[in-house]
Amino acid sequence: MRKNFKGIFSLLAIILLMLTGCSTSGAKTSVSNASTDKTDEVVLYVTRHGKTMFNTVHRAQGWSDTPLTDDGVKVAEQLGKGLKEKKITFKSAYSSDAGRARETARLALKNNGQSDLQVKESKNLREVCFGSYEGEHDEVMWGDAGKELGYNSYEDFMKAISSGEATVPEMLSALKKIDKSGMSEEWDGVRQRMQKELTEIAEETAEDGGGNVLVVAHGMSILSMISNMTEETPEGGQLANASVTKIVYKDGKFKVKEVGNTAYAEAGTNEK
């Protein structure tokens, strides 16, 4: 069942699963091919990277980076194979400058038969920065954020998140206050930089005749980006690794068509 963004911040999964990684299970919607004809319509396939080492060991991974695990490589390859099976080809490809996003993009393109397509990197597509908590255990980081908000323990704070008493924007704001590096980011700032980059990519592609664009980024930053574009959220409030959020840009406007769709990667497991 889909939930709207009014309730998304009450979901524990958006904290734990965004940072610890997840399987390819998630929202399953029908896969429809976007037209590849010359048109000003731009179809953006915004994809979360594959699972990484830090995801696996439950450490905060925003601007810090670790390589894809074997499972992370596999799901990125499956994504590419699924896109090929659905006959979806890309005019251009973008990723954040994190290695996990870059590798996911290249693996997907290789298995889609487009290994020669250049992946353009952008800092604006990065995950949320957690400042001095980068690489720290999730329990320590969110436990400290909870204490800043008046909760006695990590467990109490997680209960507040689950019940909706506390929200993700509040947590990031609390983290900003206690971060010693001064580099941690808040929800609105991440949304603004992500939307700025998405708009530039869409406008440039539209001016060049439109088409399909692959964009590989990160779970929490993608959800922040679309938080004021749609009320739809993925099953469980989290984006699965290699899931696709499809956004159409036409006549200067964005329309979110799918959120956290895993059907593309799943189609890759059935390739003959």
- Known binding-site residues for substrate equal 48-55, 100
Query: Is 49 considered catalytic here?
Result: yes
Query: Is 218 considered catalytic here?
Result: no
Residues 41, 77, 103, 127: which is the catalytic one?
A: 127
Residues 41, 49, 170, 232: which is the catalytic one?
A: 49
One-letter-per-residue 3-state SS of the chain: CCCCCCCHHHCCHHHHHHHHCCCCCCECCCCCCCCCCCCCCEEEEEEECCCEHHHHCCECCCCCCCCECHHHHHHHHHHHHHHHHCCCCCCEEEEECCHHHHHHHHHHHHHCCCCCCCEEEEHHHCCCCCHHHCCCEHHHHHHHHHHHCCCCCHHHHHHHHHHCCCCHHHHHHHHHHHCCCCCCCCHHHHHHHHHHHHHHHHHHHHHCCCEEEEEEECHHHHHHHHCCCCCCCCHHHCCCCCCEEEEEEECCEEEEEEEEECHHHHHHCCCC
Annotated binding site: 48-55, 100
**Residues designated catalytic:** 49, 127
